[in-house]
Amino acid sequence: MRIYQSEDYKSMSRRAANIISAQVIYKPDCVLGLATGGTPVGTYKQLVDWYKEGDLSFAEVRSVNLDEYLGLSPHHEQSYRYFMQSNLFDHIDIKPENTHVLNGLAKDPQAECAAYNKLIQDLGGIDLQLLGMGHNGHIAFNEPGDDFGLETHLVTLTDRTIDANTRFFDSRDDVPRQALSMGIKNIMNARRILMVVSGEDKAEAVLKAFAGPVTKEVPASVLQLHPDVTLVADKAALSKLVEAGVPVCG
């Protein structure tokens, strides 16, 4: 496990984008696992900038996203498909048919999940999976207590996640109660994992995930068992980990 400490959100984003662009340069047709949420926005912005400057091409890249709200159409402004289009896909040369996000309008969610597992397999697996982390240690929509052996599945959101995501909707009532999400097993099968975390409010979750016991109560703690994990975080997010004496790279 490598832990990189960045001064602030901007430098954290730049470093994460550097790691993703290195992956794309080394393997132009790589499979990127992508995340939504507030944290990776700066990373995507940096990648778009480098694409526009001609430093990077996504022409052969394939992508699979972690999750999607159940019941939201791809055109809904809070759907994760919409997020990916507006933050990344619409601004780079990735082929639309090579981008994959779970279908929130799937009539048969179980079949959608099974098809997504097969898709990941057919793509040859994920080369680099980008992750954010929730305050309770969730990754994708894998909440505390969820089984580590799950693949893509239908999830009922916890109250805490609904609260955290309310900021993106008009009201709490508008936040979908269910989602489709890759499981921990899909994430752990990725060849490399890159997690981005920012802010003092995540410091406790970072401490538990990376210096605490591996437990289902802190889903991200499972990453301690993965052979190739890079955590890129700002000083604030790493504050408690550093206090606890865990070595980090500057």
* Contacts with ligand F6R, residue ranges (CB under 6 A): 35-39, 66-67, 132-134, 138-140
- The helix, strand and coil proportions of the chain, stated in percent and rounded to the nearest 5, come to 40, 20, 40
Q: Min. distance of Cβ 241 from ligand F6R in angstroms? A: 17
Q: Min. distance of Cβ 82 from ligand F6R in angstroms? A: 13
Catalytic, out of 136, 142, 165, 186: 136
Q: In what order do the strands lie in the sheet with 2-6?
A: 2-6, 229-234, 192-197, 128-131, 31-34, 62-65, 99-100
29 vs 163, beta carbon nearer ligand F6R: 163
The residue type found at 43 is T
Catalytic, out of 127, 143, 146, 234: 143
Distance separating alpha carbons of residues 101 and 82, to the nearest angstrom = 10
- Establish whether 226 is a catalytic residue: no
Q: Which residue is nearest to ligand F6R (CB)?
A: 132
Catalytic, out of 65, 67, 68, 112: 67
What are the C-alpha distances in Å from 93 to residues 23, 76, 125, 185, 232?
Answer: 16, 23, 22, 30, 26
33 vs 212, beta carbon nearer ligand F6R: 33
DSSP state of 132: -
67 vs 146, beta carbon nearer ligand F6R: 67
- Establish whether 67 is a catalytic residue: yes
37 vs 104, beta carbon nearer ligand F6R: 37
Q: Min. distance of Cβ 55 from ligand F6R in angstroms? A: 25
- Establish whether 77 is a catalytic residue: no
What are the C-alpha distances in Å from 171 to residues 59, 121, 135, 162, 164?
Answer: 38, 38, 20, 10, 12
Please give the positions annotated as active site: 67, 136, 138, 143
